[in-house]
Structure 1
Amino acid sequence: MQLKKHKKLIVSILILVCVISLILAYFFNHSINTIVNIIVISFILAYTLSPIRDALEAKLKVSKRAASIIVIAMIIGIIITCIIVIVPDLFNEIHNISNIFDNINSFLEEVTLKYNLNNSFVINVIYNQVLEKGNAIWISFSESAVDNLIKFSDNIISFAIIPIMIYYFLCDGSKIYNKSLLLLPTEKRAITKKILKDIDSVLTRYIASQLLLSGVVGVLTFVLLLALKVKFPLWISILNAILNIIPYFGPIFGAIPAVIVALLDSPVKALWVIVGMFVIQQLEGDILAPKMTGDSTDMHPFVIIILLITGDNFGGLIGMVLVVPIAVIIKVLYDDINYYLF
């Protein structure tokens, strides 16, 4: 009996040491960091795509492997299409970026002359500050874009592995899940299954609500940009829909590319885009999102906003995407542990 007690203690200590070692290795070893990131990103994407796989499997009456291949092929096809279609156009438009500052300059000059503001010291200071800040933002953006392009090139092999990992998670996710449960003591498996089932149920509702919101925002953005004759309406709408996965703040981030592209034509068009995107943001943020996101996570909208600010401070854009699902998991764990164990 004493030996058995010591054995459990030794096993617990070894597990704790392994976990701490992995955490330290993740933060201080680049190779371990890359491997863990690939696994985590692949798992998150596979989990998000699993409902599509299930739908294809049921509708087309194919095997799970065939449905997984179709899903991966669709995603790769969309990415390749984006690269082939949009990237050349973007590079062509980069030559016109300088027109933004020319357009803004002409617009401000026109306004100052029309309303006789050119003799105002305050207006001249604001005018110079706007141009100076605009140039600084453009230089910073250019440097950041080049750095990100270099980082992407360095990690292109790692990114190429992600579709393969997603495929195996989609195909053999249930097998991996069952094998992982075998690592636990027999008496803990039933409770663990119940907790994981509850987490899966809540996360599925959350993901479904966010995808629906993203679809609505994408369609509204597409209609707005078509009406205003802004370039790249489809791709900007898709980008806005993707960024809308971030509750509340997503439409704000998604509006930036639309405004920049509209500025290529004229500041007036950009102002109309800002107004239109603001209306969409109010519709999504004040009417749809609080109800749908709050119901799907069983959290008050105020709590979700605090979580988003926290996620932004710790992990930037990715942190804002992941913080609410992580909070949902923690909440379900807390509720279930209290229910099942206490």
Structure 2
Amino acid sequence: MQRRFLRITALLLIGLGGVAFFYYIRSLLIPFVIAALIAYVIYPLVRSLEMRGIKRRTAIFTVYAAGVVLVAIFFTVFIPALLQETRSFSRILPEYTRAWEEAQAHLYRLSERVYLPPEGRQVLREMTGQIRSGVLESLRGFARAVLGIISFLPSLILAPFLAYYLIRDFDHIKKRFLAALPPGCRSDLLSLIREGDLIFSQFLRGHLLISAIVGLLTGVGAALIGMPFAVLIGLFTAVADLVPVFGPVLAAVPVVGLALSISQWKAVLMLGIFLAVQQLEGSVLAPRLLGDRVGLHPLMVVFVLLVGGYLAGPLGLIFAVPAAGLLRVVLSYLWEKMVRT
């Protein structure tokens, strides 16, 4: 018993030391984390090509070549339009700010014609001010996110090279990892890893694809009704849709508000586009591409999102649900082991 206690204590100390070490060098791990995500996303494509008789290295280069073509199309078609719309939006943003101030003043004049107690007028002023500051803060956060992506450019350049070696030597890494597991709990841990893989793949592959489709359809719909900044609207909607439950509302409020500053009909049409796309996502895309592997009650999902947003901001909102799903699997496994023993 004393030897077992010493062994467990030594393992805990080594684990805590490893966590502290990796936390200290966390900035150096960014390209490795991005490489692991890239490898995780494209590995099924490589395996699919391997099953058709293509060697792994050739399959990796084939997937990379297709990715380079898609990135080239993205930069030649999407980026110039995005930059142009960003410049135009920055030029007319003061006009929309003045339009909002005029609408706010009109609302105040309207409230003076209708009897409201002084407290009610104060609440109205505070609510309109909070809405304005919230919209402006959302725009600032979006701009900071774009600048943050640019700061990750060196890591983004290095990550594909690291991902190549991860995919090429995946079988060897997997064999070494399995050999390091204790034989007595190897099968249980493998089952736990497979369950976690289902949850994480659902988020990383399915949810990213759904968000891209939602952003594309919303941007196309905005362009068809003559909305300005259709590319920005599509990109903003795709990013906001990564947040479960609250994402569609976070995207719809500023975009419909922008359409309302142009005309009431554009606001109605833009709201109809959001509702139609969300109906398509809820009834067709999500059941086919996601399923329900996370296993969380809707009330628990809302609670997890609030906790994730409070602890980690926008990234917490995005990763809170899959992290909670993984935690549920781990806790269920530990509880089952405790009950059995």
Give the TM-score, by structure 2 length.
0.72
Task: Check conservation: 2:218, 2:277, Cα contact below 8 A.
Answer: no
Match of 1:164 in 2: 161
Task: Check conservation: 2:211, 2:242, Cα contact below 8 A.
Answer: yes
1:66 aligns with 2:62: no
Structure 2 counterpart of 1:16, from 12, 15, 18? 12
1:313 aligns with 2:310: yes
TM superposition shift of 1:179: 1.0
TM superposition shift of 1:54: 3.2
Q: Which moved more, 1:163-172 or 1:309-318?
A: 163-172
Q: State the identity %.
A: 21
Q: In 1, Cα distance between the equivalents of 2:62 and 2:251?
A: 29
Q: For 1:287-327, what per-residue CA distance to the aligned partner results, in whole angstroms no more than 9, with x for missing partners?
A: 56886767232222222222122211122222222222222
Q: For 1:115-142, what per-residue CA distance to the aligned partner results, in whole angstroms no more than 9, with x for missing partners?
A: x9698699x9989997998699659956
Q: In 1, Cα distance between the equivalents of 2:286 and 2:156?
A: 34
Q: In 1, Cα distance between the equivalents of 2:214 and 2:150?
A: 32
Match of 1:227 in 2: 224
Aligned residue pairs total 332
Q: In 2, Cα distance between the equivalents of 1:202 and 1:103?
A: 42
Task: Check conservation: 2:192, 2:330, Cα contact below 8 A.
Answer: yes
Structure 2 counterpart of 1:276, from 272, 289, 310? 272
Q: 1:303 to 1:286 in 2, by over 3 A?
A: farther
Match of 1:36 in 2: 29
TM superposition shift of 1:329: 1.9
1:92 counterpart SS class? helix
Q: In 1, Cα distance between the equivalents of 2:56 and 2:257?
A: 43
Task: Check conservation: 2:46, 2:56, Cα contact below 8 A.
Answer: yes
Task: Check conservation: 2:222, 2:270, Cα contact below 8 A.
Answer: no
1:54 alignment partner AA: R
Q: In 2, Cα distance between the equivalents of 1:143 and 1:110?
A: 24
Task: Check conservation: 2:196, 2:326, Cα contact below 8 A.
Answer: yes
TM superposition shift of 1:75: 3.8
CA RMSD of aligned residues (A): 4.6
TM superposition shift of 1:112: 8.2
Match of 1:299 in 2: 296
Task: Check conservation: 1:209, 1:296, Cα contact below 8 A.
Answer: no
Q: In 1, Cα distance between the equivalents of 2:236 and 2:171?
A: 32
Structure 1 counterpart of 2:330, from 319, 329, 333? 333
Q: 1:192 to 1:135 in 2, by over 3 A?
A: closer
Q: 1:22 to 1:136 in 2, by over 3 A?
A: same
Map 1:103-118 → 2, pairs under 5 A: 105=98
TM superposition shift of 1:278: 4.4
Q: In 2, Cα distance between the equivalents of 1:242 and 1:39?
A: 23
Task: Check conservation: 2:256, 2:271, Cα contact below 8 A.
Answer: no
Structure 1 counterpart of 2:43, from 16, 35, 50? 50
Q: For 1:172-221, what per-residue CA distance to the aligned partner results, in whole angstroms no more than 9, with x for missing partners?
A: 33322221222222323232222222332444455565356436534542
Task: Check conservation: 2:305, 2:321, Cα contact below 8 A.
Answer: yes
Map 1:133-152 → 2, pairs under 5 A: 141=139, 145=143, 149=147
Task: Check conservation: 1:57, 1:64, Cα contact below 8 A.
Answer: yes
Q: For 1:10-49, what per-residue CA distance to the aligned partner results, in whole angstroms no more than 9, with x for missing partners?
A: 554333223212333344x3xx112333333332342233
Match of 1:247 in 2: 244
Q: In 1, Cα distance between the equivalents of 2:318 and 2:141?
A: 25
Q: In 2, Cα distance between the equivalents of 1:65 and 1:261?
A: 49
Structure 2 residues not aligned, in runs of 5+: none
Match of 2:81 in 1: 89
Q: For 1:135-157, what per-residue CA distance to the aligned partner results, in whole angstroms no more than 9, with x for missing partners?
A: 996599569847963x5555432
